């Protein structure tokens, strides 16, 4: 994908993901999204786990995205 490919960033609380998103936008990415509250949540946003969204424990990115080595 190119710089217009959608990218979703996620970290524990969303802070590092927001910093990474800013850097990605500076180099030209146009579709960068941050999961509000990250995995664990903050006072402002409950996060992925609190929203009862799916989590695959122990999965690596090859398993998540169906990539083959």
Q: Using 50, 70 and 90 to split pLDDT, how confident is the model at 1?
A: confident
Mean pLDDT, rounded, for 5-19: 96
pLDDT of residue 61: 74
Report if pTM > 0.85.
no
| Mean pLDDT of all residues in 10-34 | 97
| Average pLDDT of the chain to the nearest whole number | 90
pLDDT at 68: 55
- Cα separation of 40 and 36, whole Å? 10
Looking at residue 28, its pLDDT comes to 98
Predicted pLDDT of residue 56 = 82
């Amino acid at each position: 994908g190119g710089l217009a490919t959608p990218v979703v960033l996620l970290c524990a609380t969303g802070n590092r993901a927001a910093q990474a998103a800013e850097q990605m936008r500076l180099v030209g990415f146009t579709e960068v999204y941050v999961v509000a509250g990250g995995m664990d949540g903050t006072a402002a946003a409950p996060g992925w786990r609190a929203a009862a969204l799916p989590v695959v424990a122990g999965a690596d990115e090859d398993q998540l995205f169906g990539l083959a080595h």
